[in-house]
């Protein structure tokens, strides 16, 4: 599984990455987690507001605050989809 955090390096984006990592730990799942800050890549996802969450190439959530529980649900869906 590949998880991309769409952002610009802001505090909220870093917090999203921390919550994603926590969710992965709690689910005992492994994934490649990367922060995406390249404007061209962000534009390709039509990321206007940040942070955004992309799981396996599919925009899954964003923008805004997601709880660890909400992220876990997204990851479980991404693992089966």
Task: Supply the pTM of this predicted model.
Answer: 0.88
pLDDT of 80 strictly over 70: no
Q: What distance lies between CA 40 and its chain's CA centroid?
A: 17
Residue 81: pLDDT over 90: no
- Give dist(CA 68, CA 70) in Å, integer: 5
Q: What is the pLDDT of residue 71?
A: 95
Q: Are 54 and 13 in contact (CB under 8 A)?
A: no
pLDDT by residue (tens digit) across 25-36? 999 999 999 999
Q: Which domains does the chain have, with CATH numbers?
A: 2-80 (3.40.30.10)
DSSP letter string, 18-66: HHHHHHHHHHT---EEEEE--HHHHHHTT--SS-EEEETTEEEE-SS--
What is the structure's pLDDT at 44? 93
């Amino acid at each position: 599984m590949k998880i991309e955090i769409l952002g610009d390096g802001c505090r909220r984006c870093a917090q999203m990455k921390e919550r994603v990592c926590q969710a992965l730990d709690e689910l005992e799942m492994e994934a490649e987690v990367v922060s995406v800050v390249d404007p061209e890549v962000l534009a390709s996802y039509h990321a206007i507001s940040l942070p955004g969450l992309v799981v396996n190439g599919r925009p899954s959530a964003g923008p805004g605050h997601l709880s660890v529980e909400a992220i876990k649900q997204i990851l479980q869906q991404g693992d089966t989809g």
